[in-house]
Amino acid sequence: MPEIPTVLFVCVHNAGRSQMAAGYLRALGEDRVRVLSAGSEPADTLNPVAVAVMAEEGIDITASTPRPLTGELARQADVVITMGCGDACPVFPGKRYEDWELADPAGQEIDTVRAIRDDIKDRIAALLDELR
């Protein structure tokens, strides 16, 4: 049986982009992928607009909480996907890295956050195809 890959999503606050990506990958990847997320400067709570737009897709991310990025989390990952955390994201040899240029949903109107969500969904679908 092949090993299950681990994907780590990292953004600054771990309250919007990375949480939406993690929610999609958990939902669409089912038990074929292990999912982690973290932030270089984690917020206290999730972005409520991100929670709302994911609920529109039938994905509940309310149980998730922003958490700090640690070297241990990065070492657990096979794939590290960054979203605007820049130099704060550690780099470990042997890991696959991708940087997804996505607007930060913090403080944005719901239609803008929906567009970010839809972009993330497309990227997650492509990622799942690559991981298979």
What is the overall mean pLDDT for the chain?
92
The total number of residues shown for the chain amounts to 132
| C-beta of residue 46 within 8 angstroms of C-beta of residue 63 | no
- The pLDDT value given to residue 78: 93
Residue 90's pLDDT is 64
- In the sheet that holds 79-83, the strands lie side by side as 34-39, 6-11, 79-83, 96-99
Q: Does position 1 have pLDDT exceeding 60, yes or no?
A: no
Find the range with the poorest average confidence among 9-18, 36-45, 91-100.
91-100
pLDDT at 2 over 70: no
Say whether 121 sits in a helix, a strand or coil.
helix
Question: pLDDT confidence of 13, banded at 50, 70, 90?
Answer: very high
pLDDT of residue 71: 86
The domains of the chain, with CATH numbers, are: 6-131 (3.40.50.2300)
Could you give phi then psi for residue 99, rounded to 5 degrees?
-115, 115
Q: What is the pLDDT of residue 86?
A: 65
Global pTM value: 0.93
**Ranges 42-46, 71-75, 100-104: which has the least confidence:** 71-75
Q: Tens digits of per-residue pLDDT, 53-101? A: 999 999 999 999 999 998 889 889 999 999 976 666 667 778 898 999 9
